[in-house]
């Protein structure tokens, strides 16, 4: 077994914010559909527990937002997010699905900016990227909870905070672990 001193390939990708090759663009669309399928299951489980609290859906969303943005860059991250949002609206996934459009686009852009500036080799880098992503996304969806569901502001803040906290913790662990394994396997 040989030991390589080559830096993490994902870190090398961080010099580019934008990728317009076919692999990245098609990957964004395909993974947007995959994301939607995973969201259909996780959001329904969350709805069975309590509609405003989106724990599994939030972790799934944040993990996929991070991975796609990290691996394929922009505009693939935004394409993935907006594909997921449009399908969520069309299928009636959530009463606040309309707010997934700004949440997904802005969150992916936020993740990109952090990943562009940091090497994404450390846990703290993934944590910071997910923190920014989840705050941005949950502000957008929280506004939807307030406007569409007419929930009291206190409930919106508590719900969004719990969802964001779960998303940051869960997605940081999953994104870093999966990205490292994809790198180790030579897939990125």
Query: Which residue bears the tokens 């929280």?
Result: 142
Neighbours of 6 (CB within 10 A): 6
- The two three-digit tokens of residue 172, written as one number: 């940081």
What pLDDT is stored for residue 128 in this prediction?
98
Is 19 in contact with 76 (CB distance < 8 Å)?
A: yes
Show me where the domains of the chain are located: 17-184
Tokens of 136: 């941005």
Per-residue model confidence as pLDDT tens for the chain (188 residues): 444 444 555 554 456 788 888 888 888 888 878 888 888 888 788 878 876 667 888 899 999 999 999 888 899 999 988 998 998 899 888 889 999 999 999 999 999 999 999 999 999 999 999 999 999 999 999 999 999 999 999 999 999 999 999 999 999 999 999 999 988 998 77
Q: What is the CATH number of domain 17-184?
A: 1.10.1760
d(CA 9, CA 187): 10
The per-residue pLDDT for 106 is 97
Rounded-to-integer distance, Cα 151 and Cα 148, Å = 8
CB 138 within 8 A of CB 166: no
């Amino acid at each position: 077994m040989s030991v390589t001193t080559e830096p993490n390939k994902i870190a090398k990708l961080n010099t580019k914010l934008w990728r317009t090759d076919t692999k990245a663009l098609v990957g964004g669309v395909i993974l947007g559909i995959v994301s939607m399928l995973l969201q259909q299951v996780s959001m329904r489980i969350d709805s069975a527990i309590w509609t405003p609290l989106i724990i599994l859906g939030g972790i799934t969303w944040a993990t996929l937002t991070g991975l796609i943005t990290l691996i394929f860059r922009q505009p693939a991250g935004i394409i993935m997010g907006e594909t997921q949002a449009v399908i969520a609206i069309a299928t009636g996934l959530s009463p606040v699905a309309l707010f997934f459009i700004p949440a997904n686009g802005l969150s992916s852009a936020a993740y990109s900016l952090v990943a562009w500036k940091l090497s994404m080799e450390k846990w703290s880098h993934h944590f910071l990227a997910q923190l920014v992503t989840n705050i941005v996304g949950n502000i957008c969806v929280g506004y939807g909870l307030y406007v569409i569901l007419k929930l009291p502001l206190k409930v919106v803040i508590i719900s969004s905070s719990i969802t964001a906290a779960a998303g940051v913790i869960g997605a940081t662990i999953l994104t870093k672990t999966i990205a490292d394994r994809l790198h180790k396997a030579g897939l990125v």
